[in-house]
A and B are shown apart, each in its own frame.
Chain A
Amino acid sequence: MSISTGSAWVDGSSALMKRYNIFRSINWGKAAVVAVPGLWLAIFFFIPFLVVFKISLSETAIAVPPYTSLLEWDLEEAYVTFKMNLGNYLYLIEDAFYLDAYLSSIKIAGVSTFFALIVAFPIAYLIARSEGSTRGLLLALVILPFWTSFLLRVYAWMGFLKKNGIVNEFLLSTGLIDQPLTMLQTDFAVYIGIVYTYLPFMVLPLYSALEKMDVTLLEAAEDLGCPPVKGFFLITLPQVIPGIIAGCMLVFIPAVGEFVIPALLGGSDTLMIGRVLWDEFFLNRDWPMASAVAIVMLVVLVLPIMLIRNGQGKSEEAI
């Protein structure tokens, strides 16, 4: 989420620059509307980002707070030293472990996003094509889980998946298996947890894209002898691509940095960058290193996503 907001911030500021030349013709009401989210982003995204970035350039110290200051003031000699430590970033590159952790997170997030898309698409399709009152009810059902704490819902999955849990009890009683399956503390459980938790973030953008679609196009295609499957791939899919991209981003981005779900459902061998970050911060007490890991995570995610958005914008312009 921070990503899309990040680029919105850039867009907003460049738009403001253009307006600078025509200062007098500024629409003050409009400017105020833009300023509110701009200010929000500055306070809750940009400034914290700079603070984290600053810490990532310092070194650990046994002190409060546990890192060195970038600026050193010497009042007697009246000079200021600025010391920047790039060692943390170099270490990130030198040590293959961090790359492994990033790749493993991206893999887990990618697979989860794919399955979330597969599960969410039929749901969104059904909701978009159903009648008014049913549609409202179905949409409410999608949002309903948010009324319960996220942590509780993940805990509930532990009850489902554990050795003497509901799923195993059911399978044993039907005779499908005669030994309980090990599902908890595996990557499988992590995938289930992520897909389940982030499903609404996939369903809602898909629904809004599908709902806007002109259904008469499908009818026209059918009249012209196009089979339904072909019609889906030629007409429906291209029109909901913005919804798919939005949904995938909303699932993929938080899933990469996910900490709670792998901690509760995953096995000890589930390596994710969120856990590495936790270890750097709490076990190594290395705040600068933890900050560097976080900054790199953001950059790794932001760049490809900005590129996608850029490409998307251009292709829309071409149309």
Chain B
Amino acid sequence: MHLKKIGLTAALLTAALSTTAVAEQQVLNVYNWSDYIDPAAVKQFEAETGIKVNYDVYDSNEVLEAKLMSGGSGYDVVVPTGSFLERQVKAGIYAEIDRSKLSNYSNLDSVLIEKISRHDAGNKHNVPYAWGTIGLGYNEAMVKARLGDMPVDTLDLLFKPEVAAKLADCGIGLLDSPAEVMSIALNYLGLDPNSEKKADLKKASALISAARQNYKYFHSGKYISDLANGEICVALGYNGDVLQAQSRAEEAGQGHKIGYAIPKEGTLVWFDLMAIPSDAPHPDAAHQFINYVLKAETGAGIANYVYYAVANKAAEPLLNKDVIGNPGIYPSDEVKANLFTQNAHTAKFDRKLTRAWTNIKTGR
């Protein structure tokens, strides 16, 4: 592994230094979420094309954005979430995708493509990678002991103070992601989840604040291991993360069974989208990589490995049963109808939102 890395770095260095070299080693710099691809897929791409892939990872959209916004990131393919891409397109940091180079584009799910175009008119700058929902991860036994037979597929668990109070002693964790959680709260109240109205923000803040004392923490990563070892019993989190907690709990064998429920009130659906920065040094290789990901076999391999849904319709017959048959990954059409996307906000609203969020968290 390490030796290979050194070899790769050496290859990169030689490529960078030998400007006069005739047959230059082709390189591709990919920047993707951590644990978000089947490593075999990258190896096979290298074998098929002879392009060396330099694969870096990040764990938050904010980190990716900060890197891209400083300019000269040197990456060829990045994978931001829809609402982030929406704003980044406005800042002009992405090149247009050349569809003539993507022979596998027709493999994509046209319904999803349509939804995604809300972020990027005509999908000129993106190709979908994977998608998922934000929902409730819960410890089956601990929640049953406190709530009895009450159904768990409801946000009442978080937002009804009298219900949340019953769960407070075993621990509730919320994502520390103001835009996403606030839009879910707005939707729960029957308001427009993308509303930028002051009054709506106030109502949603009041809703979360009222149950605030029952929450153990706001954090976007800690809940994975905490769910798995029983440190908390309910989390509002990303579906793939909760499923990861589920398998970790099984491995640990402490008897914790973790479930994932999409709330019946509806929740947020997010899309992670591949894009090519306008200053990408290897746009051709980037198109080749994206086209490779769009292959049915590659898409299925990734979904089977990372437990997230891919927007690849052609890949669906090739998916494992525990992926395609898992309503937490591939929800029914009925559930899908209740999902909403979150748009990019104006800078002014972002500021109000961050302040409201800090006030909720600090109990001010």
Contacts and interface: CB of A to CB of B under 8 A. Distances in A.
A162 B71 contact: no
- Main secondary structure on A side of the interface with B: loop
A284 B352 CA distance: 9
Interface string B51-74: 000000000101101101111000
Given A64-B68, A282-B66, 12 more contacts: A60-B347, A62-B91, A62-B347, A64-B91, A66-B91, A269-B363, A271-B358, A280-B354, A284-B347, A284-B351, A284-B354, A286-B351
Nearest to B178: A283
Contacts of B68: 64
Given A185-B216, A271-B362, A283-B350, A65 B71 contact: yes
Contacts of A63: 91-92
Nearest to A287: B69
A75 to B, nearest CB: 22
A279 B358 contact: yes
A114 interface: no
29 contacts: A62-B87, A62-B91, A64-B69, A65-B70, A66-B91, A97-B355, A163-B171, A163-B231, A164-B231, A185-B217, A268-B217, A268-B361, A268-B362, A269-B361, A269-B363, A270-B362, A271-B362, A279-B354, A280-B354, A282-B62, A282-B65, A283-B62, A283-B350, A283-B353, A283-B357, A284-B347, A285-B347, A285-B350, A286-B347
B29 interface: no
A70 B217 CA distance: 41
Interface string B229-240: 111000000000
A231 interface: no
B90 interface: yes
A268 B214 CA distance: 12
A259 interface: no
B215 interface: yes
B217 A267 contact: yes
A45 interface: no
Given A164-B230, A268-B361, A281-B66, A64 B93 contact: yes
Interface in A170-207: 185
Nearest to B218: A268
A152 to B, nearest CB: 15
A294 to B, nearest CB: 15
Given A62-B90, A164-B229, A185-B216, A285 B71 contact: no
Given A97-B355, A267-B217, A286-B351, A64 B362 contact: no
Interface residue SS majority, chain B: helix
A65 B274 CA distance: 22
A271 B216 CA distance: 16
Report the interface size class on chain B: 35 or more
Interface in A264-306: 267-271, 276, 279-286
A267 B231 CA distance: 15
Given A62-B91, A65-B70, A162 B231 contact: yes
Nearest to A163: B231
A68 to B, nearest CB: 13
Interface of A: 60, 62-66, 97, 162-164, 185, 267-271, 276, 279-286
Contacts of A286: 347, 351
5 tightest CB-CB pairs across the interface, nearest first?
A282-B62, A268-B361, A64-B71, A269-B362, A283-B354
B253 to A, nearest CB: 15
Contacts of B92: 63-64
A283 B63 CA distance: 10
Nearest to B73: A64
Contacts of A269: 361-363
Contacts of A282: 60, 62-63, 65-66
Contacts of A284: 347, 350-351, 354
A292 to B, nearest CB: 14
A267 B218 CA distance: 8
A267 B60 CA distance: 21
A80 B62 CA distance: 34
A285 B65 contact: yes
Interface string B339-363: 0000000010011011101100111
Contacts of A62: 87, 90-91, 347
B70 A64 contact: yes
A195 B354 CA distance: 30
A270 B362 CA distance: 7
Contacts of B63: 282
Contacts of B355: 97
Nearest to B363: A269
Interface in B157-186: 171, 176, 178
A62 B68 CA distance: 12
Nearest to A62: B91
A269 B215 CA distance: 11
Nearest to A269: B362
Most chain B CB atoms below 10 A, which of A64, A284, A286? A64
